[in-house]
Every structure is written in structure tokens, then in C-alpha cells.
Amino acid sequence: MELLKRIYRHNLAFVGMIILIPMFLCAVFAPLISVHNPFEPDLKNVLASPSISHPFGTDMLGRDVFARVVYGSRISLLVGFVSVGIAVLIGIVIGAISGYYGGIIDETIMRFVDLMMCFPTFFLILAVIALLEPSIWNIMIVIGLTGWMGIARLIRAEILSIKNKEFVLAAKALGLSEFRIIFRHVLPNAMSPVYVIATLGIGGAILTESALSFLGIGVQPPTPSWGNILTQAKDNIEVAWWLSLYPGLAIFLTVMGYNLLGEGLRDIFDPRRHYQS
């Protein structure tokens, strides 16, 4: 509740939440919000412009674009949370081990992290996806496996500043196992920056999935995704502007919402900043 109060007081975080809440509602209640079936073609209404019955118009198969955009929010939400969850899990474990043990273990892990960060992430994802069968699960796993390096470095830096504090030394003096010290005492005190980078990472994962789907190696039709709706739109952009506008706007607002929320959380978790009630 205290965090929600701080978000309410912070302009950027509050605006981000206001943007994201409708996106969550669309993803959760898609069958109730959408009257039309996103998979059902209607050849009598091909490329129909926006109207009362089809607020976002129809595509080249007569499918309702509003329904496809609403159902596409489920894909974006799933990709964002699962891929970032994988990245956070890997980054926390590797960063915690590196920061706590130090020495040759730290040097080896950090050099591996530096090596991974040398590869352009998007092109690495493209290369891996091209070798695998395009599917939403492959996309989530690959995005997660290529996005943990920054989190690992962040956790390592936090643990380096915490591991020699009194409560950690007291836990060692009590004879607690290193596993318990790391994951029960040290890590919970190093998690605040992770919430920030994870929130920002969700927006980045959604943008990556949309780009992959737009290139045709992401979520495959007929499953609706904002990216593959844009792929279909590029062939009809001169006669069906709505096919580009609405999914593009959905991507823009969602990514902006997560970025604003992430920036707000960065300020909220920064102890050097003060807020007015």
C-alpha cells in the first residue's frame, strides 16, 4: 500500500499506471470487451473503414481489427512478463554468486557477462529465432536468455555494497549456510533497483516481440499480435490507414507506460530524493 501511495504522488509513475491499467483490463477481459471473434473472417467486410460495428475497421480478410488489437494485448503482456521473469531469475542468481563470492569467481563471471554484452542483442535474437521454429514460447525464452546481463551487473554491484555490513557478518557468525545468507539476508536488500530495470525491461521485451512479429519470425498468424497486424498493414497502408494506426498506437502507449512507470519507480526507490505529500 505504501508503494501505491508513492506511485500516486509521483507524476510520471502515476501517468504510467493510468496508461497500463486499460492494457491489463484488455488482456484479462478480452472476451468480454471484444464483441467479434478475432479469428473469424468476413469476406463481405474486407478492409472496411472504422464504423460503429467495427470501431478500428477490418483487415484484408474482414476480421475485426479492434478484436485483434485487444487479443494482441494478451500476447504482449505474456511476452513481457515471462521473458523479463526469465532474465531477472538468471540475472539475480548469477549476480548474487558473483558479488558475494568475489575473487576468481567474480572475475570469470564478469568477463562472461562482458562477452555476452558485446553481441548486439536484437541481431543475436534474430539469429537464434531463425534457427528455431517461430513460436511465442521460443520468443519469450530467447528474449529472456539474452536480457539478463544488465540485471546481473546491477545485483553484483548492490551485493558488493551490502555483503560486509553488520547484519551479514552476524548471520555468518551464527553459522548460517551461504545459500541462506545470500537468498534470505543479502538479496532481499538488493532488490529495489531490480524492480526498476524489470519494469523498463517489460516495455523493451514487448517492442522486441512486435519487431520480430513484424519481420515474420515472431508470433505466427492467425494468432493476433500487434507486430503481425502491422505486417499485414504495410501492404495496404495507402487504402487502410487504420491497420497501421491502432496497433502502432497500442505499442507506443504500452511501451511508454512501462517506461514512465519505470522512471517513476527509479525516483521512488532512490533514497536521495524526497517527495511532498
Q: pTM, whole model, 2 decimals?
A: 0.86
Q: Largest Cα–Cα distance of the chain, in whole Å?
A: 77
CB neighbourhood size of 105 (10 A): 13
Q: What is each CA distance from 202 to 55, 81, 103, in whole angstroms?
A: 28, 6, 33
| Mean of pLDDT over the chain | 87
Averaged pLDDT for residues 147-175? 88
* pLDDT for position 253: 94
pLDDT of residue 272: 56
How is residue 48 annotated by DSSP?
P
The answer on pLDDT for 271 being more than 70 is no
- Of residues 272, 79, 86, 129, the one with CA closest to residue 192: 272
Contacts of 109 (CB under 8 A, 6+ apart): 94, 97, 98, 152
Does 276 have pLDDT greater than 70?
no
Question: Are 94 and 148 spatial neighbours (Cβ–Cβ below 8 Å)?
Answer: yes
pLDDT at 7 over 50: yes
pLDDT at residue 251 greater than cutoff 90: yes
Express each pLDDT in 19-50 by its tens digit.
999 989 998 999 999 888 999 888 888 888 99
Taking the CA atoms of residue 88, residue 210, residue 22 and residue 38 in that order, the dihedral angle to the nearest 10 degrees is: -130
Task: Annotate 55-70 with b (16+ C-beta within 10 A) or e (fewer).
Answer: ebbbbbbbbbbbbbbb
pLDDT of 275 reads 45
Distance CA 4, CA 265 (A): 11
CA-closest candidate to residue 94, choices 134, 16, 139, 152: 152
Q: Which domains does the chain have, with CATH numbers?
A: 17-27+65-268 (1.10.3720.10)
Residues across the chain? 277
d(CA 114, CA 67) in angstroms, rounded, equals 43
pLDDT given at position 71: 93
CA distance 140 to 120: 18
> Taking Cα atoms as reference points, which of 212, 96, 77, 107 lies closest to residue 148?
96
Write down the pLDDT at residue 87.
94
As a whole number, mean pLDDT of residues 74-99 equals 92
Q: Of the given ranges (3-12, 78-87, 112-121, 150-159), which has the lowest mean pLDDT?
A: 3-12
Mean pLDDT of 121-138: 79
